[in-house]
Amino acid sequence: MIHQYTDKELIEGLRQRKPCCIDYLYQEYFPVLRHHLIQNSGNRQDVEDLFQDTVIVLYKRSLVHPFNLGCSLKTYFMAVSKNLWLQRLERKYRLLYQAECEVNEPREIYSPEDQELREENLEKQRLFYKNLMSLSTECRRLLQLYCLKIPYKEIARLMNYKNEVYVKTRKYSCKNLLRKKIMKDPECQQYIKI
């Protein structure tokens, strides 16, 4: 039986980077997100990418004191996900209505260089997450825990590894595998400086 967390417990768990809270979010919120995205031009990879991005937004938001919600955490989670998805769809289809946007948007809001840099950074992140998601579940989880700055000793305990040295060795091999996948990805070639 799954432990039922309150919204307050989940926010505190995210703030403390507790994997059990992330697992709970995955079990409870992922199916709802998947249903929404499949109905709105998304695929399984989009759902996984968007779920990761939304959890990162929630984590960053949980660090701000106080994090007061005017709705349930699930409603907030879905609102963030929907906004992120709309932004992605807008980028994807912006060529279709770019001329109209230029007519209606004031130019002083942002410079084209800033916008291009933001889009390039978002594209690099998307490619990173795409390649990360192609790793084994074990490697992906290990790197995610490492990126959350969870101590090696705790990672060893969570992943049932024998010790911290093994965690470091495994992390190194997973990072190298991810690096190789990124370097071989044809979409990444435009970002590689020779």
DSSP string, 109-144: G--HHHHHHHHHHHHHHHHHHHHHHTS-HHHHHHHH
CATH 1.10.1740 maps onto the chain at 1-105
CA dihedral 44, 45, 51, 57 (to 10 degrees): -150
- Give the confidence band of 1 by pLDDT, cuts at 50, 70, 90: low
The CATH class of 1-105 is mainly alpha
Q: Are 39 and 47 in contact (CB under 8 A)?
A: no
Q: Which two tokens stand for residue 4?
A: 């039922």
CATH code assigned to 112-194 = 1.10.10
pTM of the model: 0.47
Model pLDDT for residues 56-93, shown as the tens digit of each residue: 888 888 887 677 777 888 888 888 888 888 887 777 65
